[in-house]
Structure 1
Amino acid sequence: MRIVRLLIPVMLLLGTATRHASAQNTGNPIKVGAYYYDGWGGKNAKANDPNEPWAKNAPRQVTKRMLDEFADREPLWGWRSDSQEIMERQIDLAADNGVEFFLFCWYWRDTQGPINLDRIAKLPGHESMHRYLKAKNKHRIKFGLLIANHQGAEITGTENWKVATEHWMQYFNDPQYIKVDNKPLVVIFSAKGIENGDLAGMQEVSQKQGLAGLTIAGCGNTAGKNFDVRTHYNVVPGYSGGPEEHKYSELANAQRKQWQGTKEQPYIPTVIAGWDKRPWEDPSGNGKGGAKQGWYYTDRSPAQFKSLLKDAVDWMDVHPEQTAQERLMLIYAWNELGEGGYLVPTKGDPKASYLKTVKEVVAEQNKKVK
């Protein structure tokens, strides 16, 4: 996934005093969701290249640089996650560690020519969600959609947004679908890629299909757009600013600076587990074609991540009028291994220490509200 490209100054919005704001706590437990990227299955683009033997059995988004320089990011079950067994294992991992729902990336990829939703549903990028839907332990966590309307997956025109919404009704009507304000939550990756008429068309379709409507969240700058909620996929200073090493604290502060909402358009805070997309960058061809070199943040730690998680909870405690009443928090990401934001257990972190910090923060919060 690409990110919101913002170069923003380091700014700490929350003082330590907010850690003691329990008097203003709404009394509701937090609900933690994680973005799920479905890039770790299928056939690698270089699989049939005799000069690239490493790619023969590699999944789509793995690069040679990942294997050579970033092997510590390989999940304990291997680079491939395209099996029912591994999906069910991930559901249990999430549920056991405080993650209440996955937001699966969903790609249109059919805006030119005749619409073929059956074909779209089978395209690479949707397999993991369908494995989730078939999982025997599906009941343990909820799910939702992040509409990845960018980089060749743009949905253009109100009619296409309506057709897509009709297709998504099968998911919205699933009892495990995540809701905000008693309506299915849909997150739109690119707020600038959808117009108010398109948003109205989505609401119209959902209401005609018997729902009270949708809660539609826009990522990034939602000015002038009739989104119900604002959020982010992530916020990364220096996305294409050249290869520079930076501190995780700068990355964390960039997220904090965005935690601002209104009663009319609440904000769902995003917490970032890390950022380092060098495995996808390499002018020699060992990365992904077209990946621009940018800043990377190498000193992340579970303690720093936990501090950011707690600050997000504290922000919701102090500003209940600026966030959703369900007190949702979104983590970038469950498994963005190529970009350095992940919670899954890996060879470099076999005990899933970042995931365990989620469990600790959720347990602490639940203890407060009981």
Structure 2
Amino acid sequence: MKKIRPIAIHLPQYHPFPENDEWWGKGFTEWTNVTKAKPLFEDHYQPHLPADLGFYDLRLEEARMAQELLAKEYGIYGFCYYHYWFNGKRLMHEPIDRKLKNPKEDLPFMLCWANENWTRRWDGSDHEILLEQRYSVKDDEDHIDFLLPIMSDPRYIKINNKPIIVIYKPNILPNIQETIKCWREKAKAAGMELYLCHMGFSYLEGWDQLVDGFDAVIDFEPFGIRRKSVLKEAHDRKRKPKKGIIHKIKRRLGKKITENTYNCVPYQWMGENLTPQKDFHCKIFPSIVPGWDNTSRRGKNPTLILKDSSPEYFEKWLSNIKLDFKPYSDEENFIFINAWNEWAEGNHLEPDQKFGRQYLEVVKKLFLNQ
């Protein structure tokens, strides 16, 4: 059996920067949202609060080193950092820039271009845009020129000596094939070949038509392509809140609204009835989430809550993925875990005050000594 390499998706947001100060208030970081979260119904796990690593600042070498040491200890091969590029303007780049300058931070890494608009609603939509993506041929050229030196770093993750670059949502680029062509030609001129991936989302019609020009698709859980859309499942389960005098009396008496008022899906459902890898006509790298709940960002209007996630269910789901996944080659062998530290989405391998290191222990058990 070929070895499998777990990659944890990493959000480099946990440090103040001028744009966040302007948009959300002085000193804002993701921790600001995390700590103000409140449970919305009985047994709703919120807030998610960090344990071992605390409320870190990723500008600090000590914080980044602690993350890398923990990842290595529990069998994570590398991080996939979100990379924010808006026509040459970058956001949340301090942690990556400082890692690049520091050889002590030797955990392998790759980049995923988070190519959505930056919005006040945290959803990349066209509503309340704070920083817009504007695509052009010139921007394609400037962008890959910026990326090539980073992808030459010896720590950068490669497949057959081809650095991996991930595009989050290629469907929103006006001409993705021209972007791919530009990037490959620029890389070739620099003596490099690229391994291009994009994220796959079940709610995007025609995602499978995007595979032309890409080397592989990464199944992006919890919105992945291996089952019915989790958002549709949440919608089907959701009940409209009752109105009228009885409902108002219950609210006044402090009775909690049930989970069915919100976009809830049982975590256990996520690992069931997955389409096997062999049924896809393209290369697909599987993924998994330890949980998902963006209540801390969106208050009483969360996009999705995966209810009752647990290390036991996580292990069952991850074990099934491992059994199903047959690496395409000795180096095309990645399973992605979303995410290492998406605390405001209730989605983190990093230890919290409820489960400690139990999710990490599952990863260690399944992958460290293959």
* TM-score, shorter chain, exceeding 0.5: yes
Structure 1 counterpart SS, 2:86: coil
Aligned amino acid, residue 334 of structure 1 = W
CA distance in 2, matches of 1:219, 1:357: 24
CA distance 1:222–1:191, change in 2 (3 Å): farther
Aligned amino acid, residue 126 of structure 1 = H
Aligned amino acid, residue 86 of structure 1 = A
Conserved in 2, the CA contact under 8 Å of 1:39 and 1:60?
yes
Alignment of 1:40-55 (within 5 A): 40-42=14-16
Tell me the equivalent position of 1:250: 269
CA deviation vs aligned residue, 1:25-44 (integer Å, no higher than 9, x gap) = xx321111010012221059
CA distance 1:258–1:34, change in 2 (3 Å): farther
Which of 56, 63, 69 pairs up with 1:86?
A: 63
Tell me the matched-pair count.
309
Please state how far the C-alpha of 1:171 moved relative to its aligned partner: 1.2
Which of 76, 79, 82 pairs up with 2:52?
A: 76
Tell me the equivalent position of 1:66: 36
TM-score, structure 2 as length reference:
0.74
Supply the RMSD in Å over aligned alpha carbons. 2.9
Tell me the equivalent position of 1:200: 181
Aligned amino acid, residue 183 of structure 1 = K
Tell me the equivalent position of 1:218: 198
After the TM superposition, which segments of 4 or more aligned residues of structure 1 sit over 4 Å from their partners? 43-49, 55-58, 239-242, 258-263
Tell me the equivalent position of 2:8: 34
1:345 aligns with 2:351: yes
CA distance in 2, matches of 1:46, 1:125: 10
Which of 125, 149, 157 pairs up with 1:178?
A: 157
TM-score, structure 1 as length reference:
0.74
CA deviation vs aligned residue, 1:8-33 (integer Å, no higher than 9, x gap) = xxxxxxxxxxxxxxxxxxx3211110
Tell me the equivalent position of 1:97: 74
Give unpaired runs (5+ residues) of structure 2.
40-45, 119-131, 201-206, 224-229, 239-261
Tell me the equivalent position of 2:255: none
Structure 2 counterpart SS, 1:39: coil
Conserved in 1, the CA contact under 8 Å of 2:74 and 2:364?
yes
Which of 287, 290, 314 pairs up with 1:305?
A: 314
CA distance 1:253–1:181, change in 2 (3 Å): farther
Alignment of 1:125-274 (within 5 A): 125-139=92-106, 141-152=107-118, 154=133, 156-194=135-173, 195-211=176-192, 213-220=193-200, 221-224=207-210, 225-236=212-223, 237-238=230-231, 241=235, 243-253=262-272, 256-257=274-275, 259=277, 265-274=282-291
Conserved in 1, the CA contact under 8 Å of 2:341 and 2:349?
yes
CA distance in 1, matches of 2:57, 2:358: 20
Which stretch shifts more, 170-179 or 159-168? 159-168
Aligned amino acid, residue 148 of structure 2 = M
Give unpaired runs (5+ residues) of structure 1.
1-26, 111-116, 284-291
Conserved in 1, the CA contact under 8 Å of 2:36 and 2:47?
yes
Please state how far the C-alpha of 1:66 moved relative to its aligned partner: 3.3
Conserved in 1, the CA contact under 8 Å of 2:17 and 2:92?
no
Percent identical: 20
Structure 2 counterpart SS, 1:235: coil
CA distance 1:149–1:135, change in 2 (3 Å): same
Please state how far the C-alpha of 1:132 moved relative to its aligned partner: 2.6
Please state how far the C-alpha of 1:232 moved relative to its aligned partner: 3.1
Please state how far the C-alpha of 1:341 moved relative to its aligned partner: 1.2
CA distance in 1, matches of 2:295, 2:72: 30
Tell me the equivalent position of 2:367: 362
CA deviation vs aligned residue, 1:76-124 (integer Å, no higher than 9, x gap) = 33333322110000000011111011010011123xxxxxx4xx3xx43
